[in-house]
Structure 1
Amino acid sequence: QGPAAAWRQFNGGFLLTLVAGIATSVLLLVRPITWLLEHQPVLIWSFFFGLIAASVLVCGRLVKHWTVGPLVGLVLGAGAAYAVGVLHAGNGSDSLWFYFLAGAIAICAMILPGISGSFILLLLGAYGPVMEAVKSFDLVVVGTVGLGAILGLMSFSRLLTWMFQRHHDLTVATLSGFLLGSLSIVWPWKEVLSLR
């Protein structure tokens, strides 16, 4: 009972460390990353592509038994992520509800292997706008993303943890497929510059 019990119930120490790490990395990297996105897009997208490709291998090795279930999950995950790219769902939105949802989904990704919050923001098309909001001290957007992250972590973390514990191979294989399919979204050479 009391504040101490509530702190332990919600893993307060872990959450505080997580938030501190996120805040530190954002404050240190926001300016160089926004500059690279504007002036060296191929370089930064190549970097993200490499990170995600490596994550596919890391996640894939976590699957203990590649049976029919995990293989189906791999295909479905890859198809879902590829569909997001084809439908241009990664273009983002200016709606505060969109930023709220992006924050909620991104923070949940951080408790799963191989997927980072930044990757989810990239996938949703929110990474650039959120970085710009931090850079320009847009407290409305930053606060909305933060609120979504807090509520998302409190609401979905138990469900995701349960899935990871009870259906480990299926969950990890689906995540691996999702990462694999999303490579089309972060492909560095999106535009044909010249034809000969």
Structure 2
Amino acid sequence: MNFNLYEAFLIFIRGVLMGSADIVPGVSGGTIALITGIYERLIYSISKINFKFIKPLVKLDLKGFWNELLDEIDFAFFIPLVLGIGIAMLTLAKVITYCMDVHTALTFSFFLGLIIASAYVLLKKIHKLGIKHIIFTVIGLVLAYIFVSLNPIAANHSLPVLFISGMIAICAMILPGISGSFLLLLLGQYEYMLTALHELHFTEIIVFIVGALIGILGFSKLLNYLLKNYEEFTMAFLIGVMLGTLKIPVVNIASNVAFTIPALLPCIIVAVIAFMIIIIMETQFNYIE
């Protein structure tokens, strides 16, 4: 395992940004991973985990276990990334909740700018836009619009439900354009899990994380295949998903401010700032192989 302190710090910062995004309904941590140049490594590293290191452990072959473990799991990548995501979620959950409750229109204007900029970044990854790309974009847009128009499910908060919610939400969290937090909102678990993070309910948090780990290990293999074999069509579909999810911030802005230039101007300014932040991030962050 090669460990570079400077690279670990850069991965940690990306983790903080991903964790911050994953808290927000409508914004995807996967989008941040893509913009900051670690998405392909993230998906590949997760899909590479096959638990082959368990076999030598059962045979009490500790050297073989250690070698297999280092070969399968990219610790130099995962440790700083997970640390950054965890710190962001624990420290920013209250801040995000406060902003959404007290400064709703401005907060969702910021999200609006983030999503539009993220779609633009994905569009740049398609070298030559054709009719097939447009079809996949339209399909993604329609499906996402229907998805965000669904009503939240009135679900209980038992440990099995939290486990399954973790499995489902994590798949969205690593997809650019699909918000795992919004999926939790639809499953009726978003506010409950935010409270669990606030108050450090470790049982609920651990069960949710275990479900997420199982979900992400399976889903990452499919995603890794799609990115390797159909990258541009996958990106086109995700652009449509992002455009479809724009309904969330638009509805929240429209319901909290009057439709006049003086009232909308602060929202427009905030959205433009968010857009520029993503564009600057995309140009300044180097890809980590």
Query: TM-score range with shorter-chain normalisation?
Result: 0.7 to 0.9
Query: Within 5 Å, which residues of 2 pair with 1:146-157?
Result: 146-157=209-220
Distance 2:128 2:168 in 1: 28
Match of 1:136 among 199, 212, 218: 199
Q: Which runs of 5+ in 2 are unaligned?
A: 1-63, 260-289
Is residue 34–residue 132 contact of structure 1 (8 Å, CA) maintained in 2? Answer: no
1:31-62 CA-to-partner distances (Å, cap 9, x unmatched) read: 21122222222222222222111111111111
- 8 Å Cα contact 1:102/1:121 also seen in 2: no
Asked if the contact 2:111/2:249 (under 8 Å) is kept, the reply is yes
The one-letter code of the counterpart of 2:96 is I
1:104–1:83: structure 2 CA closer, same or farther, 3 Å change rule?
A: same
Q: Is the 8 A contact 2:169 2:184 kept in 1?
A: no
**Residue in 2 aligned with 1:120?**
180
- 1:71-90 matched pairs, under 5 angstroms: 71-89=134-152
Choose the corresponding residue for 1:170, options 217, 230, 233: 233
Given the alignment of the two structures, is residue 189 of structure 1 paired with residue 253 of structure 2, yes or no? yes
How high is the TM-score relative to the length of structure 1?
A: 0.81
Does the CA-based 8 Å contact 1:133-1:142 persist in structure 2? yes
State which of 52, 70, 74 in structure 2 corresponds to 1:11. Answer: 74
Cα distance, 1:71 vs. partner? 1.5
Contact 1:92 1:124 in 2 (8 A): no
TM-aligned CA distance change 1:148 to 1:178, over 3 Å: same
Whole-Å Cα distance in 1 between the matches of residues 130 and 154 of structure 2? 36
CA contact (8 A) 1:100 1:148 kept: yes
Structure 2 residue 27 is the aligned partner of structure 1 residue 27: no
Distance 1:168 1:181, change over 3 A: same
For residue 249 of structure 2, give the secondary structure of its aligned residue in structure 1: coil
**Cα distance between partner residues in 2 of 1:42 and 1:128:** 19
Question: Secondary structure in 1 aligned to 2:128?
Answer: coil
Tell whether the 8 Å contact from 1:73 to 1:170 is kept in structure 2 after alignment: yes
Q: What is the identity, as a one-letter code, of the residue corresponding to 1:104?
A: M
1:51-91 superposed Cα distances (whole Å, 9 cap, x missing partner) = 111111111111223223221110111101100122235x6
Say whether the 8 Å CA contact 1:74–1:174 is kept in structure 2: yes
State the percentage of identical aligned residues: 28
Match of 1:65 among 116, 119, 128: 128
Compute the RMSD of aligned alpha carbons.
2.7
Counterpart residue type for residue 255 of structure 2: E
Q: Relative to structure 1, is the Cα distance of residues 110 and 17 closer, same or farther in structure 2, using a 3 angstrom cutoff?
A: farther
After superposition, the Cα gap between the structure-2 partners of 1:46 and 1:144, relative to the gap in structure 1 and judged at 3 Å, is farther
Give the Å deviation of 1:139.
Answer: 2.5
Judging changes above 3 Å, is the alpha-carbon distance between structure 1 residues 194 and 146 closer, same or farther for their aligned structure 2 residues? same
Aligned equivalents of 2:114, 2:120: Cα separation in 1:
10
Tell me the distance in 1 between the aligned counterparts of 2:193 and 2:207: 10
Amino acid at match of 2:120: L
Q: Which amino acid aligns with 1:150?
A: L
Q: Which residue of 2 aligns with 1:161?
A: 224
Q: CA deviation at 1:175?
A: 0.8
Show CA shifts across 1:154-190 (max 9, x none). 2121211110110011101111110110110232325
Deviations 1:138-164 (A, max 9, x none): 224322321122112221212111101
Instruction: Tell me: CA distance 1:97–1:72, structure 2 relative to 1, closer, same or farther (3 Å).
Output: farther
